[in-house]
Amino acid sequence: MDAVARLTRDHGPDNGFWLHVDADVLDDAIMPAVDYRLPDGLSWEELTTAMRIATTSHRVVGLEVTIYNPTLDPDGAGALGLTKVIIDALA
């Protein structure tokens, strides 16, 4: 909660931040398309909530998603999940 409060408090118009998301923050059961898999990661809903909190501050100046490995996602489920999270967080 301290991190959210720090990011979302008003620092003036020139104090935006970059939103960086590593796909390996997601739980291994829902995101196998990463090179370093770990259990007990975030759910799709938890990632969406965290990103929505950041984006509703209106201070996000850019967004990147990394660590996603499409060669480990033959059916595209991971890509679809990440896309949905981004769309939902920005809506």
pLDDT tens digits for range 15-24: 788 999 999 9
**Domain extent listing, the chain:** 2-90
Q: Are strands 60-66 and 17-22 parallel, antiparallel or unpaired?
A: parallel
Q: Read off the pTM.
A: 0.84
pLDDT above 90 for 9: no
d(CA 89, CA 86): 5
For residue range 28-64, what is the model confidence (pLDDT) as tens digits? Answer: 999 999 988 888 999 999 999 999 998 988 888 999 9
Answer yes or no: are the C-beta atoms of 47 and 55 closer than 8 Å: no
